[in-house]
C-alpha cells in the first residue's frame, strides 16, 4: 500500500535505556540482575514480589467487595430457584462474547434458564437499544435481564424494561455519569467503587459466578470455576485492560488452561489460528482475539458466541474456519479504509497535523473503524476518531487515544454535539449526526489542544533494557518470562541494541513488512528480525549501522525454538 498520500509520522524521541544488561545491580529478589531490575521498574519490590512472580488464585479479591455484587448475585440465585427466564444481553466484541459464555456456562450449571442475546452492530448498535430490546422481547419473555459489558449509561432503555415489569442487572466496566444510570436491581461496575477499576466484563463475569458460589456454597459442586478461566483470560487480554492484581491472576491461570482447554471452540480457534503448544498473551491479542472479533465486525457476533459454547469439535471447527475466512475479509476491508483515511488526512490537514484527528466517510464499514483508529493513532501519535455510517445515515465512530489524553473527558465537553458517546480514557465510541461531524471535530480538537502540553504529541522510544546481540538467546527469554504475562499495565520489555548491522539484504514482505538478520560488534550469532508494517513508515531503511528498539520473542519452527526480534523502531546510530 502506498503511503505517499499522507503526512509523515512524527519523529520519535529516543531516551536512554533504564537497564544495562552488562551492568546489572546486585540481585535481591530472583537472583537475576536483569529480571530484578525489570521488577523494580514495574514497581515490584521484595515485599510484593512473591505474589507477583507466583500468582495464586487463592489471592483473588473477594467478589462481594465489588459495588452492588451481593444484591445482583442474590437476585440471580432467586431467579434460578424460581425457574425464571434469564436473558444475557451482551456486546459483540471479545470481552462481550466471552462474558456471555462464562455466565451461560455457570448459570446453566446451577439450573438456570438462560437466553443469550447479542445486538447486531449495523442494525442495533452497541449496548442496550430500543431495537435490541424489541427483538429480545420477541425472541424470549425474560423475567430478568443481565446487561453484560454494556448498560451503565442506558437509562432510557432500562426504563423500557422497567415499564414491562422486567428486572435489570448491569454487569459492566465502562464509565458513566450517574444521571445516565438505568433503573436496575444492581449495577455491578468497578468504576463505581474505590478499586478494581482494572477489571473488564470477562473478569466481572468470572467473579459474578464466584459470588454465586460464595453466597450459596452448595453450588460449588455443580460448577468448577476453573473451567472458565481460559475464557476469562481471552476476554481480559483482548479488551486491553491492565494485567494487574486479579487480572494477572486470571490471565496467568487462564493461559495454562488454554493450552489444554476443555472447550471445543477454543480448541478449534487454537488450531485455525496456528497457536503453539504454550499460548502466551500475545497469541490472544493477535491470533485468537481478531478471529472472534471478525464476526461482530462484519455481521453478527452470534457465530463467535456459538463457537465458544459449541458442544463438539466438528461443530466448533466448522465455525472457527468460517470466522477465519471472515477475518481475512476484515483485513481486506480494513486496508481499504486505512488507505482512504490516510488520503483524507492529507486532504484535510496536509503536513500540519492538528491535536486530534476526526475522519469520516459514508463508505467506511463501521465494523473496522476501531482497528483503523488504532492504526492511525499509533502512526501519527494523535487521538483519533474514525467514523462510518450505518444504514440510517447515523455516524458510528470509534476513538483511540495516546497516553496523557483522556478521551472521555474531552467527549464530555463536546457531548452536546453527539447523539451518544462514552468509553474509557484510551478508547471510546460515539454516535453522531452527519451534519455535526465538522463541529465535533473542531470542538474535540480545540479541547485537546487547549489542555495538552506539546511534548505529549511527541512519541517516545523508552527502552527498558540495553543489551547486545550475543546476549539475545533463549536463556534471557526464559528469565524474562518470569515477569509474564505481558500486556497492558505490564508491557513486554522493550530492548535496544546499538550499532547493529544487517547481514545480507533486507527483504520486503507483501510490500508491507521488513525482514532481515542482524548482528553487532559483540560477535553474536546473527538473529532474525521482523518489522511488521515497517514499510508503511519507512519505505526505505536508513543508512546503517542502526540502533534498534525491539521485543525479544520466541520462534518455534518444526519443533525447534529460537529467538527473533520484533522491531518497534530503528534509526541510524549516532
| Tally of CB atoms within 10 A around 43 | 9
How far is Cα 244 from Cα 237, in angstroms, rounded to an integer? 11
How far is Cα 451 from Cα 106, in angstroms, rounded to an integer? 46
> Residue 438 is placed in which grid cell?
465538522
How far is Cα 357 from Cα 24, in angstroms, rounded to an integer? 43
How far is Cα 52 from Cα 49, in angstroms, rounded to an integer? 5
| Tally of CB atoms within 10 A around 47 | 7
pLDDT in tens, the chain (574 residues): 334 457 878 889 999 999 888 776 656 788 888 888 899 889 898 888 999 999 999 999 999 999 999 999 999 999 999 999 999 999 999 999 999 999 999 999 999 999 999 998 777 777 899 999 999 999 999 999 999 999 999 999 999 999 999 999 999 999 888 999 999 999 999 999 999 999 999 999 999 999 999 999 999 999 999 999 999 999 999 999 999 999 999 999 999 999 999 999 999 999 999 999 999 999 999 999 999 999 888 888 999 999 999 999 999 999 999 999 999 999 999 999 999 999 999 999 998 999 999 999 999 998 899 999 999 999 999 999 999 987 788 899 999 999 999 999 999 999 999 998 887 788 899 999 999 999 999 999 999 999 999 999 999 999 999 999 999 999 999 999 999 999 999 999 999 999 999 999 999 998 899 999 999 988 778 999 999 989 988 999 999 899 999 999 998 887 889 999 999 999 999 8
Q: Which of these, 421, 384, 422, 391, lies nearest to 405 by C-alpha position?
A: 384
State residue 124's pLDDT score.
Answer: 79
How far is Cα 295 from Cα 329, in angstroms, rounded to an integer? 10
Place of cell 455491578: 188
| Tally of CB atoms within 10 A around 16 | 9
Indicate left, alpha or beta for 559 from its phi (over 0: left) and psi (-120 to 50: alpha).
left
Instruction: Mark out the alpha helices in 116-263 (DSSP H runs).
Output: 130-139, 155-163, 201-215, 229-238, 246-259
Q: What single DSSP character describes residue 285? A: I
SS3 content of the chain, % helix, strand, coil (to 5): 45, 20, 35
Contact 335, 1 (CB under 8 A): yes
Contact 198, 244 (CB under 8 A): yes
**What pairs with residue 112 in β-bridges?**
none
Contact 172, 201 (CB under 8 A): yes
Residues 6+ apart with CB under 8 A from 131: 123, 124
How far is Cα 562 from Cα 527, in angstroms, rounded to an integer? 9
Phi, psi of 466 (to 5 degrees): -100, 130
Q: How far is CA 439 from the centre of its chain?
A: 30
State residue 177's pLDDT score.
Answer: 85
61-324 — its CATH code?
Answer: 3.90.1640.30
Contact 132, 148 (CB under 8 A): no
How far is Cα 407 from Cα 440, in angstroms, rounded to an integer? 13
For the chain, the structural domain boundaries read 13-53+462-572, 61-324, 353-457
| Tally of CB atoms within 10 A around 131 | 12
> Residue 506 is placed in which grid cell?
533486507
Cis peptide bond prior to 160, omega within 30° of 0: no
Which element (helix H / strand E) includes 147?
strand 144-148
How far is Cα 154 from Cα 159, in angstroms, rounded to an integer? 9
Altogether, the residues listed in the chain come to a count of: 574
How far is Cα 64 from Cα 73, in angstroms, rounded to an integer? 9
Instruction: Mark out the alpha helices in 350-496 (DSSP H runs).
Output: 369-380, 407-413, 437-451, 474-480
State residue 366's pLDDT score.
Answer: 86
State residue 4's pLDDT score.
Answer: 41
How far is Cα 500 from Cα 189, in angstroms, rounded to an integer? 49
Between strands 357-360 and 186-188, the pairing is unpaired
Fold exhibited by the domain 13-53+462-572 = OB fold (Dihydrolipoamide Acetyltransferase, E2P) (2.40.50)
Q: Which of these, 273, 302, 268, 303, lies nearest to 289 by C-alpha position?
A: 273
Fold exhibited by the domain 353-457 = Diaminopimelate Epimerase; Chain A, domain 1 (3.10.310)
Amino acid at each position: 500500500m502506498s503511503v505517499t498520500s499522507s503526512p509523515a509520522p512524527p519523529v520519535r524521541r529516543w531516551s536512554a535505556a533504564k537497564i544495562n544488561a552488562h551492568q546489572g545491580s546486585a540481585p535481591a529478589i530472583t537472583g537475576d540482575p536483569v529480571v530484578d531490575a525489570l521488577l523494580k521498574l514495574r514497581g515490584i519490590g521484595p515485599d510484593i514480589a512473591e505474589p507477583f512472580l507466583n500468582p495464586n488464585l487463592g489471592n483473588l479479591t473477594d467478589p462481594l467487595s465489588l459495588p452492588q455484587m451481593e444484591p445482583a448475585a442474590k437476585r440471580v440465585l432467586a431467579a434460578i430457584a424460581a425457574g425464571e427466564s434469564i436473558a444475557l444481553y451482551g456486546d459483540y466484541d471479545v470481552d462481550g462474547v466471552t462474558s456471555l459464555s462464562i455466565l451461560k456456562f455457570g448459570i446453566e450449571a446451577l439450573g438456570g434458564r438462560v437466553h443469550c442475546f447479542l445486538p447486531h452492530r449495523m442494525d442495533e448498535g452497541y449496548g442496550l437499544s430500543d431495537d435490541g430490546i424489541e427483538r429480545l422481547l420477541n425472541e424470549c419473555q425474560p423475567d430478568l435481564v443481565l446487561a453484560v459489558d454494556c448498560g451503565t449509561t442506558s437509562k432510557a432503555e432500562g426504563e423500557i424494561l422497567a415499564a414491562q415489569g422486567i428486572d435489570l442487572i448491569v454487569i459492566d466496566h465502562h464509565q458513566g455519569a450517574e444521571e445516565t444510570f438505568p433503573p436496575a436491581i444492581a449495577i455491578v461496575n468497578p468504576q463505581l467503587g474505590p478499586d478494581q477499576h482494572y477489571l473488564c466484563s470477562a473478569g466481572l463475569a468470572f467473579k459474578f459466578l464466584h459470588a454465586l458460589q460464595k453466597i450459596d456454597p452448595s453450588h460449588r459442586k455443580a460448577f468448577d470455576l476453573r473451567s472458565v478461566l481460559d475464557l476469562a483470560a481471552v476476554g481480559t487480554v483482548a479488551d486491553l485492560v491492565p494485567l494487574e492484581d486479579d487480572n494477572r491472576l486470571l490471565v496467568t491461570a487462564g493461559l495454562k488452561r488454554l493450552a489444554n482447554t476443555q472447550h471445543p471452540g477454543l480448541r478449534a480457534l487454537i488450531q485455525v489460528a496456528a497457536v503453539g503448544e504454550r499460548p502466551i498473551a500475545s497469541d490472544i491479542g493477535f491470533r485468537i482475539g481478531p478471529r472472534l472479533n471478525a464476526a461482530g465486525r462484519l455481521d453478527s457476533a452470534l457465530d463467535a458466541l456459538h463457537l465458544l459454547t459449541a458442544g463438539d469439535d466438528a461443530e466448533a471447527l466448522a465455525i472457527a474456519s468460517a470466522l477465519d475466512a471472515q477475518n481475512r475479509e476484515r483485513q481486506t476491508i480494513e486496508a481499504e479504509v486505512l488507505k482512504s483515511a490516510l488520503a483524507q488526512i492529507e486532504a484535510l490537514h496536509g503536513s500540519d497535523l492538528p491535536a486530534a484527528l476526526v475522519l469520516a466517510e459514508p463508505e467506511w464499514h463501521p465494523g473496522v473503524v476501531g482497528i483503523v483508529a488504532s492504526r492511525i493513532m499509533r502512526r501519527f501519535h494523535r487521538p483519533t476518531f474514525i467514523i462510518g455510517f450505518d444504514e440510517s445515515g447515523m455516524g458510528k465512530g470509534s476513538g483511540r487515544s495516546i497516553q496523557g489524553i483522556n478521551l472521555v473527558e474531552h467527549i464530555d465537553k463536546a457531548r452536546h454535539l453527539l447523539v451518544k458517546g462514552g468509553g474509557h480514557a484510551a478508547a471510546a465510541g460515539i454516535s453522531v449526526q452527519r451534519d455535526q461531524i465538522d463541529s465535533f471535530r473542531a470542538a474535540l480538537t480545540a479541547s485537546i489542544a487547549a489542555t495538552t502540553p506539546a511534548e505529549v504529541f511527541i512519541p517516545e522510544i523508552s527502552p527498558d533494557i540495553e543489551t547486545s546481540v550475543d546476549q539475545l538467546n533463549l536463556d534471557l527469554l526464559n528469565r524474562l518470562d518470569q515477569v509474564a504475562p505481558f500486556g497492558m499495565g505490564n508491557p513486554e520489555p522493550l530492548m535496544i541494541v546499538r550499532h547493529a548491522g544487517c547481514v545480507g539484504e533486507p527483504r520486503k514482505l507483501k510490500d508491507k513488512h521488513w525482514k532481515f538478520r542482524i548482528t553487532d560488534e559483540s560477535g553474536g550469532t546473527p538473529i532474525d528480525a521482523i518489522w511488521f508494517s515497517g514499510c508503511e513508515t519507512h519505505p526505505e531503511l536508513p543508512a546503517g549501522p542502526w540502533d534498534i528498539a525491539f521485543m525479544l520473542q520466541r520462534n518455534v519452527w518444526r519443533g525447534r525454538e529460537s529467538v527473533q526480534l520484533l522491531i518497534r523502531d530503528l534509526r541510524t546510530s549516532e
